Amino acid sequence: MRRTRLFVLSALSFIYAAFNAYGQNSVVEKINDYGTFDRWCVREIKESGLIGGNTRYLYEFYGSPSDTLRSGKTPFEAPKDYIWRTNNVLAVVAGVVKTNNTVYPEKRGDGYCARIETHVEKVKALGVVNMEVTCQGALLVGTLPEPIKDTKSPMSKVFYGVPFDGRPEALVFDMKADVGHEVIRGTGFSKLKSMGYPDWAEVTVVLQKRWEDEEGRIHALRVGTGIERITEDITEWQNGHRIAVHYGDISSEPYYEDYMGLRADGPNAYHALNSKGENVVVEEDGWASPDETPNHMMIHFISSCGEAFNGGVGNTLWIDNVHLEM
């Protein structure tokens, strides 16, 4: 099928403006600076009385440990220069306030690291109705608008990445891992179900060339790919772990795995806002040439690699000192 590459002027204007705001050096500095995980703040949120009225704490890695934001139902707003985001999130569904926290600060030496974990979130309504939901831990470069209003299409709730026109050689970080726990499916609408196979953590850095057509659909070519599944326990810190970014079509390379492939549609497809403000799928139409210049970069660390509401309960990924090698 012939690929249509009809550019909408407003979309192009948006991209170019974004480049001015997020130049290559600026993005790298923000990723590297906050990637030390030495500055954390916490939001204090009281959940609805209908589900117990508990006070919960949601962490983000900016500010200082003494910063406690008593935000109630106020949606999260990232401060200037903070382009990271955890999936520690506030949900308000039918007026009921609920939270979930899967990313935590943990002491490491004189500073902190990030601990990302998969767990089961339990909800008891009116002391009678029990709901159990499997929640995967994630931190990412991008945005996660709040409040979450429903559980439909979880990937559509997250806008991964930022405008970026650089060509990094690798994503580098320190890590430990406890992985391989059996996948438990928990949707909240039925009993927890053991799926009978193990689950792994996953780290991704992907670069794309995006554009918008006349109908408001967002297309992309995959420019650079660095994706690794963590399939073994790492009990001691592995410092300076390096995930190389490979450019162009990697589908015939010996290191290629199916999970590194294009995401054109389906439950794991990326989403973005088009120039009309509509939430649409980012359709990865193919592989770019090896010398293509990207205009968007995504980085994310997850404790479970499967679909939403499925995960190895107990899977934990510790990371520290994340930076791009240019």
pTM of the model: 0.87
Q: How many CB atoms lie within 10 A of CB 297?
A: 29
Could you read off the pLDDT tens digit of each residue along the chain, which spans 326 residues? 444 444 443 444 444 444 444 466 789 999 999 999 999 988 889 888 888 888 999 999 987 656 666 666 778 888 888 999 999 988 888 788 888 999 999 999 999 999 999 999 888 776 655 788 899 999 999 999 888 888 788 888 899 999 999 999 999 999 999 999 999 999 877 889 999 999 999 999 999 999 999 999 999 999 999 999 999 999 999 999 999 999 999 999 999 999 999 998 888 899 999 999 999 999 999 999 999 999 999 999 999 998 899 999 999 999 999 999 99
**Alpha-carbon distances of 102 from 2, 37, 138, 167, 297, rounded to whole Å:** 43, 15, 7, 31, 24
In order of start, what are the domains of the chain with their CATH numbers? 9-36+114-121+136-325 (2.60.120)
Strand order in 55-60's β-sheet? 55-60, 41-46, 68-70
DSSP 23-66: -HHHHHHHHHHHTT----EEEEEEPPGGGT--EEEEEESSS-TT
